Amino acid sequence: MSKKKLLSILFSVLWCTGWCQWDSEINRILQKYPATAELGIAIMDEKGELLYERNSEQNFIPASLQKIITNFATLEMLGEDYEFSTQIGYTGSILPDGNLTGDLIIYGNGDPSLGSERFQKRPQIRQLLKDITRFVKKKGITCIDGKVICDASYFGTDGTIHSWSWNDIGNYYACNTWSINLHENYYNLYFQLQNNRSVAPQIISHSPFIPNLEFINELQTGTRGSGDQSYIFGAPYTYQRYIRGSLPQGATTFRIKGSIPNSPKYFAELISGQLLADGISNNGADVEFNQPIDMHEKIAQIKSPLLKELVRSANLESINLYCEAFLVAMGQGSRHRGIQMEKTYLSAIGIDTSDIYIEDGSGLSFWNSMSPEDFVQLLRHLYLVYGAGLGNYFPEAGKTGTLYYMFKGMQANGKLWAKTGSMQQVMNYAGFTKAASGKVLFFCIISNRHQESNRKIRRIHQELMNTIYVKG
């Protein structure tokens, strides 16, 4: 036997000893998935070689994996130091006695973090109102003949995607997206739980307080430990909310979160009220969604944190509002144009977008579709751009974000980074790891229509991801 042939056989044996065992371990885990699960898996190395695949070219519902595309396309298109800006100005003129003959205007270009509790070093709602009053007084305005108007025309009124589920859009995670957002467009709704299952949980209060918001409580008391099984039903711009489902049996208070019906109007009302309280008369509040208002002068602006900070929060905590705001901002006020920009971004990476469907920026729509192979190609590209710093934008196994409670006591703890995507009968992960072998691997694991609890599928996914780290 020739030396060359002997080396070839030896290489084949060594390769199979490693990779065939890995395949065998993965196939063992795959047997744990329910028969109804539609599975898509792709594992790629730094060279772009697919090391393992199962239905890797088939399109699936990505859920929040969609955020990876939106977040990094936005960083590419707008720049990591981009800042959203909320501007304060006025129409008309200021007379010598301080009387403003026009309207006070608040113009926004989509800052999703305005008044957010997530950024405690930034002005919260109460401080925002004080700051705006201070800007007005500093300009010498003592009274306003007109109104306080929030100009939300940059995004318009269509901030809820038509394919989002009805049982989502009244809740905080599916709130409307405007060019003027406040407190991430959600309110907290507090309940008193009940020990008697025949007694419904009782509404205590909601905050921030939204005038005219009406709650129709149809909740039931579930079993102890059953968790939050409640949904708030109600469309944007309407002020009647039905709460259905159940909250667990108990004796404590419980919080759920709902979507503010009209944040630009609410913000204008708050500012008008604060000005009145500080002795600056005005003729109430209004909102403009259609035509931008031509300001006579801009007197101040409130800037957002840097885009890279917003993107990090959006990816770590999977914040739908942020990603929807990014998408429309990237499209200069147009969601449709933002989607085209995302496809342009993917095409530049070398991903074929002809059969990719993008419906929104967050992945909340069941209409989105993309393949596991597309995601690992994207992740490989991002790693080439950001290097190990890419981990700053992704939840870390057992440490941060949506992976905080996973991988405890497992080898991949602290050594794997992944974005989660989950919906009803959808449980997905896409990320990367520096495997025990030292190789950097990119993976995408998608399960659609599994007709099992996502908790069960998550455990199987976790085992699979840990195996990728250990055996890879």
The mean pLDDT value for 61-77 works out to: 98
The mean pLDDT value for 122-126 works out to: 95
> Shortest CA distance to 363 belongs to which of 126, 60, 117?
60
Rounded to 5 degrees, what angle do the CA atoms 152, 153, 154 make?
A: 95
Helix, strand, coil percentages (3-state) for the chain, rounded to 5, are: 35, 25, 40
- Token duo for residue 173: 């995670």
Confidence (pLDDT) at 299: 97
Q: Where in the chain is the domain with CATH 3.50.80.20?
A: 85-157+262-304
Q: How far is CA 76 from CA 156, 308, 359, 386, in A?
A: 25, 11, 20, 12
- Residue 305, preceding peptide bond in cis (omega within 30° of 0): no
Confidence (pLDDT) at 15: 42
Task: List, for residues 326-360, the tens digit of each pLDDT value.
Answer: 999 999 999 999 999 999 999 999 999 999 999 99
The tokens 């809820």 sit on which residue?
Answer: 160
Map residue 457 onto helix, strand or coil: helix
CA–CA separation, 418 vs 323, rounded Å?
17
Task: List, for residues 377-413, the tens digit of each pLDDT value.
Answer: 999 999 999 999 999 999 999 999 999 999 999 999 9
Cβ–Cβ < 8 Å for 21, 36: no
Class of domain 24-79+308-471: alpha beta
Q: Where in the chain is the domain with CATH 3.40.710.10?
A: 24-79+308-471
- Token duo for residue 357: 């469907």
Task: List, for residues 127-161, the tens digit of each pLDDT value.
Answer: 999 999 999 999 999 999 999 999 999 999 999 99
Cβ-count burial 450-466 (b if 16+ within 10 Å, e if not) = bebebeebbebbbbbbb
Task: List, for residues 82-115, the tens digit of each pLDDT value.
Answer: 999 999 999 999 999 999 999 999 999 999 999 9
The tokens 């931008």 sit on which residue?
Answer: 292
CA–CA separation, 40 vs 17, rounded Å?
25
- Token duo for residue 305: 């944190």
Residue 7's pLDDT band (boundaries 50, 70, 90)? very low
Cβ–Cβ < 8 Å for 78, 389: no
Cβ–Cβ < 8 Å for 88, 104: yes
Q: Is the pLDDT of residue 5 over 90?
A: no
Number of C-beta neighbours around residue 420 at 10 A:
23
CA–CA separation, 92 vs 104, rounded Å?
9
Look up the CATH superfamily of 85-157+262-304.
D-Ala-D-Ala carboxypeptidase C, peptidase S13 (3.50.80.20)
Map residue 136 onto helix, strand or coil: helix
Cβ–Cβ < 8 Å for 124, 263: no
Instruction: Give the up-direction half-sphere exposure of residue 94: CA atoms within 13 A in the CB hemisphere.
Output: 17
Residue 23's pLDDT band (boundaries 50, 70, 90)? confident
CA–CA separation, 68 vs 429, rounded Å?
11
* Full-model pTM: 0.93
